[in-house]
Amino acid sequence: MNHQITVIATLHAQAGKEDALQARLLQMCEETRKEAGCLRYDLQRARDDATEFVFVEYWRDAEALALHDASPHMAALGRDLPPLLARAPLVRKFSPVA
């Protein structure tokens, strides 16, 4: 049985803070990619909306994701995001089917 977890997280920057949000999210990529349970951690930016960013994350299992969620760099991101975001992030978790 495959216990892998895929996370899709969508974030919207406040107008005028797109570059600052992108820079902060790129820092998050650097730290997160070092985690043992992180299989892939990609940051995307919408082509039709410069304020929209999407993380596509692949985690080995629920334990790896829980460790990520409890990491110091995740806590720091939680503190840094509010002044950069137009609204709360939308985070959805998926399991592979095929």
Domain extents in the chain: 5-94
β-bridge partners, 5: 59
In CATH terms, the fold of domain 5-94 is Alpha-Beta Plaits (3.30.70)
Q: 59-86 pLDDT, tens per residue?
A: 999 999 999 999 999 999 999 999 999 9
Q: Measure the CA–CA gap between 43 and 27, rounded to whole angstroms.
A: 11
**Across residues 20-26, what is the average pLDDT?**
98
> What local confidence, expressed as pLDDT, does residue 2 receive?
81
> Has residue 1 got a pLDDT over 90?
no
**What's phi and psi for 95, nearest 5 deg?**
-115, 140
Q: 27-42 pLDDT, tens per residue?
A: 999 999 999 999 999 9
